[in-house]
Structure 1
Amino acid sequence: MKRFEQKPTGVCATKMVFEIEGDRIHSIETVNGCEGSSRGICALAHGMRVEEFIERCAGIDCKKKRTSCPDQMARILSRYQNGEFD
Structure 2
Amino acid sequence: MNTYTYKTAGTCSSQINIELDGSIIKNISFIGGCNGNLQGISSITRGMDANDVIARFDGIKCGPRTTSCPDQLSRALKAALSAKH
Shorter-chain TM-score bucket reads over 0.9
| TM-score, structure 1 normalization | 0.92
Q: CA RMSD in A?
A: 1.2
* Aligned partner of residue 15 in structure 1, secondary structure: strand
| TM-score, structure 2 normalization | 0.94
Q: Deviation string for 1:43-76 (max 9, x for gaps)?
A: 0000000100000000111012010001001011
AA of the residue aligned to 1:54: I
- 5 Å matches for 1:17-56? 17-56=17-56
* Aligned partner of residue 30 in structure 1, secondary structure: strand
Aligned-residue offset at 1:80? 1.9
Aligned-residue offset at 1:36? 0.6
Compare the two structures and name the one with the higher strand fraction: 2
Which residues of structure 2 form unaligned runs of 5+?
none
Q: How many residues align?
A: 85
Q: Distance in 2 between matches of 1:57 and 1:7?
A: 17
Q: Distance in 1 between matches of 2:70 and 2:17?
A: 13
Which residues of structure 1 form unaligned runs of 5+?
none
